[in-house]
Amino acid sequence: MHPMTENDLSRFLYSAKQGNHYALFYTYLFTGMRRSELLAVRWRDVDLFGMQISVSRTMQYLNRVKDHITFKEPKSKKSRRLISLSPSTALVLEEHRKAQEQMRESLQLPPISDNDLVFSHWDGKPLLPDSITHAWVKLVRKCGLKGIRLHDARHTHATIMLKQGVHPKVVQERLGHANISTTLDTYSHVSPGLQEAAARGFDDIIIPKETVSAVH
């Protein structure tokens, strides 16, 4: 597991903005979704006004059959979920949709429908999972972040949220883990920092009260 630091993330996104998958990688990092979930999202699953993404299916690609892609329901009930979007993520997705609409219009293709994939080729065909992984690897190398895998985007999201003091239950729900124990075990490396922050927070609450009581 090699989560990005906040500086790494900013550097990566700056570089990604020059490429074709900026909106996809931005959403990946800011939601913690799985690759198979993200590539299966349709515009009907995105509520830009309410700033939510509904995860209701996953993409499955079979290497044995050329370009054979199917969409299935998530494996567990916890994987089927609503993920809140940050304002910046909603804005990136809104701009991504506008770019799709303009490109389709210039190519004289039908307008976007609610059943169209959010992340796809310009003609609406699904993106192959491996092509996204290759694009990620190319970008991280360009940024000097060699060794950070695509799946580490998910770890990055969770790690940064936990460092901010977000409750592990919320992180579990965003990631779609079946049990909170999975979240806690996976991100135990964040625990020392959380322990120190908790100890300082306890002082901040209790010590001033004792001082005030002693004065009176």
Query: Domains, the chain, ranges and CATH?
Result: 6-215 (1.10.443.10)
Q: Among 8-12, 38-42, 101-105, 175-179, which stretch is predicted with the lowest mean pLDDT?
A: 175-179
Position 212 pLDDT exceeds 50: no
- Kind plus residue range of the DSSP H or E element containing 76: none
Q: Pick the residue with more confidence: 53 or 2?
A: 53
Residue among 8, 58, 24 at smallest CA distance from 135:
24
- pLDDT at res. 39: 96
Position 187 pLDDT exceeds 60: yes
- Helix (H, G, I), strand (E, B), or coil: what is residue 36? helix
For residue 157, give Cα distances in angstroms to 26, 68, 133: 11, 30, 17
Q: Among 137-141, 153-157, 195-199, 201-205, which stretch is predicted with the lowest mean pLDDT?
A: 195-199
Position 77 pLDDT exceeds 90: no
- pLDDT at res. 198: 66
Q: What is the pLDDT of residues 92-115, one digit of tens each?
A: 999 999 999 999 999 899 999 999
- What is the rounded CA–CA span in Å between residue 71 and residue 68? 10
